Amino acid sequence: MGPIQRFALGATAALAGLIVPGCSGAEETEAGLSVEQVIARHIDAIGGGDAIDAIRNIHIQPEIVEPEFTLVGDYRATREGRMRVDVFIAGERVFSEGIDGDGGWQQNGEGADFTDTSPLARAALERGIDFNLFGLHDLAARGHRASLFGREEIDGVDYYVIHVAMAEGFERFYYINPGTWMIERHREISALHPDIDSEERPAETIESNFQEFCGVLRPTETRKIDRETGDEIQRSRAFLIECNLDPDNLHIGRNEPVAAPVNAN
């Protein structure tokens, strides 16, 4: 496997954290808000539960930058649990992976054989569907759990911290700004490229440039920081987000035709 393919294998780590459009618990903070109240204010601020629930599928094209590579991704997912992401470098498709009716799959470039995803990669792909299509208010019904972890001040903002525990064991902490009720940061311990290096490290993702798509405010830019070293390890910029496309135009299966994304510049 060449260096481009090794890098491309981890591209969906950025997509799994790119967008989070609000679970249960009744814990109170010193300010008197429960987890339900914090999540409800967040959901109202980004457009409301009805707007989030009306999104049946999503299509995202991001530019993803790491110290050694810059790539463009093409990500599609549906509420029914199907998804596909294609990774391009200089217009060439170098890697694809997804979940279809036959399970999780990977392909190392145009014309290569299809192989099964590893359990770690499959779990990351499934989390991406949760985080990109569902809101925090949906997660409890999907078997996940949220609780209020208290408050934490960062750069002068006294954030509400929401702890989300996914059904398969993954954990993430969301930092909600009480002035805007936006999720501006999230923290987790994870592997950046699980199929290359399974070492899990603490990281923080900073979300910014919120814009409205399909009635929902979403961050279009992220920066991922290694919390032990302080180094930036990844950044992303979504230059196309659209939703509720004709399912026939999603081309989401492993044998579907795929075209290179629009120019990221």
pLDDT mean values, one per 10 residues, the chain (265 residues): 43 55 44 89 97 97 92 96 94 94 93 92 91 90 91 97 92 97 93 59 94 96 95 95 94 89 65
Residue 195: per-residue pLDDT = 53
Angle (CA) 175-180-183 rounded to 5° is 25
Q: Using an 8 Å Cβ cutoff, are 62 and 74 in contact?
A: no
How many C-beta atoms surround the C-beta of residue 5 within 10 A? 17
The pLDDT of residue 121 is: 85
pTM of the predicted protein model = 0.86
The pLDDT assigned to 6 comes to 39
Q: Three-state DSSP class for 45?
A: helix
Beta bridge partners of 189: 202
Which CATH number, 2.50.20.10, 1.50.40.10, 1.10.10.10, 2.60.120.10, labels domain 3-249? 2.50.20.10
Helix (H, G, I), strand (E, B) or coil at 127: helix
